[in-house]
Amino acid sequence: MPNDPRSNVESDDENTPLFDENTTPRSLRRVARELQVRLNIERISTQNLQRKFDDISNTPCNGDNNSTSPLRKRHRTHANSEDDSDSNEPSVEEAETDEVKGLGRRFVILHGPWLRRKELIFEVGLDDEYDEKKRFTDTNTMVQGQLHEIRDLLPEKYHGDAFTKKWLSKSFVEGMDSQRSNTATRLRKLAATIFSVSALDMSPSATRQEKFRSMIGWTTNEHGRGSYSMLNVEILHKDYSGVYDRQKVFLNPRLMVAIWCLSGDDSLQQRGAMTGIDYITLYEDYLKLITSGLHRDKAEFINIIQRWDEIIFPGTETSIVSNKSSSGDIENEIDREIERMDDEEEPQQ
């Protein structure tokens, strides 16, 4: 696999340069973005640790218990586990499992909430010929896309044989699960404030289902059968006019995981238990639409990234589009829109 400056960011070798003369401006911007996200994560982690320390420090002693006794040094060992690891796998320091869990949490923030094959993705061979522009060709290329994202996050010490160890895949997925659960809990807790509705509208699930389903894409056909549209979705658009609009989609500042937040589904799972919405496919199809628009230099999709960069990374010049100018079947909605973009690129006869 070719060298990537993002791998050097995680390197343990202090003498390894972050960049060289072959580093592209796009790679520099990508590294800067990841460093900014990493800084934010570390800052939050430090704040959480400080709160935990304060809680422990303020806890009164009970009986003869010594509250100042040192913490035990623990090891995560899988050597004797028949379920989780290889029989000859050595003990793993708790610090390593915590590090990998942290990287799993970062993956959710940077790349997406789920893995196509969960822990089994770590057993898939890395395709060095993988082309990012063909990521959505089929399931295998989508898996390769996620696999490359994982490898880009992991330090070099976890490449090679270490990448296929059970403890590593288990820790990474546990970190993802933790971050996804934390995000879902925070969203539902703040949903009434985010969407300017009454807290009574958010619970129980049947109330959300009835009140908000039209906002998250519920449509009925001429036979009265209902389903959730992927593109004709009010919550995705800024100033929604009732239909999908390429110039307004993905610009609603409330849209982050908003479809699930307003749905009748209680848990953020790959498929909604009440709505039947396939959230992982929804996420991948939106990603497919946006990346296809960017690869075609479509002004509307360049504008989407620029607007969100202004919100999430204000005052920085790390946008992946900083040099750009922003001058009937549910399953086929995304493909039809991409085909329309292709048709627009064809020369007129």
* pLDDT band at residue 307 using 50, 70 and 90 as cut-offs: confident
Reference 100, options 168, 43, 7, 147; nearest CA is: 168
Annotate 283-300 with DSSP letters as a single string.
HHHHHHHHHHHHHTT-HH
Residue 75, H or E segment: strand 75-76
Model confidence pLDDT, tens digit, residues 198-250: 888 888 889 988 888 898 889 888 888 899 888 898 888 888 898 988 888 88
pTM (global) more than 0.75:
no
* pLDDT band at residue 299 using 50, 70 and 90 as cut-offs: confident
Residue-level pLDDT at 197: 85
Q: HSE of 318 in the Cβ direction (CA atoms, 13 Å)?
A: 18
* pLDDT band at residue 181 using 50, 70 and 90 as cut-offs: very high
Can the peptide bond before residue 314 be classed as cis, meaning omega within 30 degrees of 0? no
* pLDDT band at residue 11 using 50, 70 and 90 as cut-offs: very low
Helix axes 94-110, 25-57, angle to 10 degrees: 120
Please compute the mean of the pLDDT values over residues 141-162 and round it to a whole number. 93
Residues 6+ positions from 58 with CB-CB distance below 8 Å: none
Residues 6+ positions from 65 with CB-CB distance below 8 Å: none
Annotate 26-74 with DSSP letters as a single string.
HHHHHHHHHHHHHHHHHHHHHHHHHHHHHHHHTPPP-TT--TTPPPPP-
Reference 291, options 141, 106, 177, 109; nearest CA is: 141
Between CA 123 and CA 111 the distance in angstroms is 20
Q: Map out the domains of the chain as residue ranges.
A: 1-13+23-41+92-183, 195-345
Between CA 280 and CA 282 the distance in angstroms is 5
Model confidence pLDDT, tens digit, residues 40-90: 777 777 766 666 555 554 544 444 444 334 434 444 444 344 444 444 455
Residue-level pLDDT at 20: 61
Annotate 134-169 with DSSP letters as a single string.
GTTSSHHHHHHHHHHHHHHHS-GGGSGGGGG-HHHH
Residue-level pLDDT at 297: 86
Query: What is the biggest distance separating any 2 CA atoms in the chain, rounded to whole angstroms?
Result: 89
